[in-house]
Structure formats: C-alpha cells, structure tokens
Amino acid sequence: MSLGSRLNIESRGMFASLVFYLVAGIVFLALLPMAGFPPQLGIIGIFSVIAAYGVFKKRNWAIWFVAVLFLAATTFSVYMLYYYLLTDYILSIAIVAYLVLTWVFSGYVVSKRRSFES
C-alpha cells in the first residue's frame, strides 16, 4: 500500500506538491541558523510548511499561501541568482532547481483549485 493512498490523497501531483512544500520548508528552517538567521528564510520556511498542511487538508486558504510562496520564492531566487550566479555554481543550480519546482508545483496547485472547494 503506497504512502499516498494511506494518507488519503487521490492525486499523485497533489502528493508531490505536498512533499515539495514540506521538504522545502524543512530545508529553509534548517538553513536558518547556518545562514545567520535571515528573516526571509524563516518566512519562506514557515509559509512552506503551512502550505503543505493546507494542501494536505485541502483547505481553501492553501491557494493563497501557495500564491504568496510563489511570489516570495521567485523574488528570493532571482535576488540570490543575481548575486551568486557566477561565483557559486552549485548554489546557483540549487536555486534554479528550487525556482523551477516552485513554478511547477504552484501552477499545479492553482490549476487544481476546484478540488480545494468545500
């Protein structure tokens, strides 16, 4: 029996977005003390965990958290790429991957917003 079926999630895409937002939130919160406690990492981490919970419970407000995360993650990623693109290639690749995955899963969750209506 798969984990998605045990958690009562009918769509693999929703399960993937739930896992993405949860893992991204945990990673951002874990990076918080290592980076000197910048507030943008904490905000993105907390919002990611809250969005993962909202996607899991199919709450209407999860769409708004995903939209805010889309804007915050895009701004954060573009800012980081501007300053670190030619100096740290591994960090740049990770930021581009995070940016692309954020766009993909945000688009997917927003396109499936009908399943969030109660």
What is the structure's pLDDT at 7? 63
Confidence of residue 118 (pLDDT cuts 50, 70, 90): low
Residue 61 has pLDDT above 90, yes or no: yes
| Residue ranges in 1-111 assigned as alpha helix (H) | 3-6, 12-34, 39-57, 62-84, 89-111
pTM check: above 0.75: yes
What is the structure's pLDDT at 11? 82
Question: What pLDDT, in 10s, does the model give residues 79-97?
Answer: 999 988 888 889 899 999 9
Report the C-alpha gap between 47 and 79 in whole angstroms. Answer: 19
Average pLDDT over residues 59-84: 93
What is the structure's pLDDT at 5? 60
What is the structure's pLDDT at 23? 97
Report the C-alpha gap between 90 and 79 in whole angstroms. Answer: 16
What is the structure's pLDDT at 112? 87
* Of residues 51, 47, 58, 44, the one with CA closest to residue 19: 51
